[in-house]
Chains A and B, each alone.
Chain A
Amino acid sequence: MTPFQWITLVSLSAALLWELIRMRTGRGPWRQGAVRGVVWTMAAVAIAKPELLQAAARLIGIQRGADLVFYVTALAFVATSFFLYARTIRLQSQVTELVRELAILEAHRTHGLDSRTTRQR
Chain B
Amino acid sequence: MSGKGFSGRRSTGGDGADVWIVVPAYNEQTRLSATLAPLAAWDHQVVVVDDGSTDRTGEVAAAANAWCLRHLFNCGQGAALQTGIDFALRQGAKIIVTFDADGQHDAQDIARLIEPIRSGQVDVVLGSRFLGSTVGLPRGRWLILKLGVLFTRLFSRVRVTDTHNGLRAFSRSAARSIRITIGGMAHASEILEQIRQHNLRYCEVPVTIKYFDETLEKGQSNWNGLRIVARLFVGRIVR
Q: Which residues of A contact B (CB under 8 A)?
A: 85-86, 89-90, 92-93, 96, 99-100, 102-104, 106-107, 111-113, 117-118, 120-121
Q: Which 8 A-B pairs have the closest CB atoms?
A: A100-B83, A86-B238, A103-B69, A107-B69, A96-B75, A96-B79, A89-B238, A117-B90
Closest Cβ of chain A: how far from B116's Cβ, in Å?
A: 24
Check A106–B90 contact: CB distance below 8 A.
no
Return 26 A-B CB contacts under 8 Å, by A number.
Answer: A85-B238, A86-B237, A89-B238, A92-B183, A93-B183, A96-B76, A96-B79, A96-B183, A99-B75, A100-B75, A103-B49, A103-B70, A103-B72, A103-B83, A103-B87, A104-B69, A107-B69, A111-B4, A112-B2, A113-B91, A117-B90, A117-B91, A118-B90, A120-B89, A121-B86, A121-B176
Given contacts A111-B2, A118-B90, A120-B90, contact A99 B234 (CB under 8 A): no
Number of interface residues of B (CB under 8 A): 27
Check B70–A106 contact: CB distance below 8 A.
yes
Given contacts A89-B234, A92-B183, A100-B79, contact A107 B71 (CB under 8 A): no
Q: Does any Cβ of A come within 8 Å of B63's Cβ?
A: no
Q: Which residues of B contact A (CB under 8 A)?
A: 1-2, 4, 49, 67-73, 75-76, 79, 82-83, 86-87, 89-91, 176, 181, 183, 234, 237-238
Which A residues are in CB contact (< 8 Å) with B67? 107, 111
Check A102–B72 contact: CB distance below 8 A.
yes
Closest Cβ of chain B: how far from A120's Cβ, in Å?
A: 6
Check B238–A90 contact: CB distance below 8 A.
yes
Q: How far is the CA of A89 from the CA of B1 in the complex (A)?
A: 36
Nearest B-chain residue to A110, judged by Cβ: B68
Given contacts A89-B234, A121-B176, contact A99 B90 (CB under 8 A): no
Which B residues are in CB contact (< 8 Å) with A102? 72
Q: How far is the CA of A103 from the CA of B82 in the complex (A)?
A: 11
Q: How far is the CA of A104 from the CA of B72 in the complex (A)?
A: 11
Given contacts A99-B72, A111-B4, A112-B2, contact A104 B79 (CB under 8 A): no
Q: How far is the CA of A103 from the CA of B50 in the complex (A)?
A: 9
Which A residues are in CB contact (< 8 Å) with B71? 99-100, 103
